[in-house]
Amino acid sequence: MTLIELYDLAYKEKINIHKINLNKIYGLYFNNNIFINNKIKNEGLEKVVLAEELGHHFMGVSPTPPFSNDYYDKLIRSRNEFKAKKWLINQVIPFDTLKRFLKQNMNKYDIAEELDVSVSLVEDAFNIYEEKLIV
């Protein structure tokens, strides 16, 4: 999914997107609002941030206090982040696309460049799709 397609999806879902200074945080989702750090100038990073925040919306994960050190809050936050990242990967690096790239003998660096995402996100996709890739 492209950045434009993600913005269109947010619009269709009636999600408001705000670009504001979030200091060191890239993005936040809260109550049908997505906040994206206005310091992000890279379209690929913006795509990933928007997709992850949309993942929070679509996976129905409720926000937890971002700076809480409470063990339960950390556990819930970790679970929510995993669900959102999984949604992000399914949208930005769909399994069929990854499989096609691998059949073309593309490595993780080539795939990351082709999709305009980080190599670590491609590695996360390998981990999420691991069982499907083995078959």
Q: Same structural domain for residues 70 and 126?
A: no
- Domain boundaries, position 69: 1-92
Q: Same structural domain for residues 68 and 104?
A: no
From first to last of the 135 residues of the chain, give the pLDDT tens digit.
999 999 999 999 999 999 999 998 999 998 899 999 999 999 999 999 999 999 999 998 766 666 667 787 778 878 888 999 999 999 999 999 999 999 999 999 999 999 999 999 999 999 999 888 775
Structure tokens at 98: 């990854």
CA distances (Å), origin 134, targets 63, 129, 131:
35, 9, 5
Q: Same structural domain for residues 60 and 83?
A: yes
Residue that the structure tokens 């981990």 belong to = 127
Q: Same structural domain for residues 75 and 111?
A: no
**Total number of domains in the chain:** 2
Please give the model's pTM, rounded to 2 decimal places: 0.85
Q: Same structural domain for residues 60 and 78?
A: yes
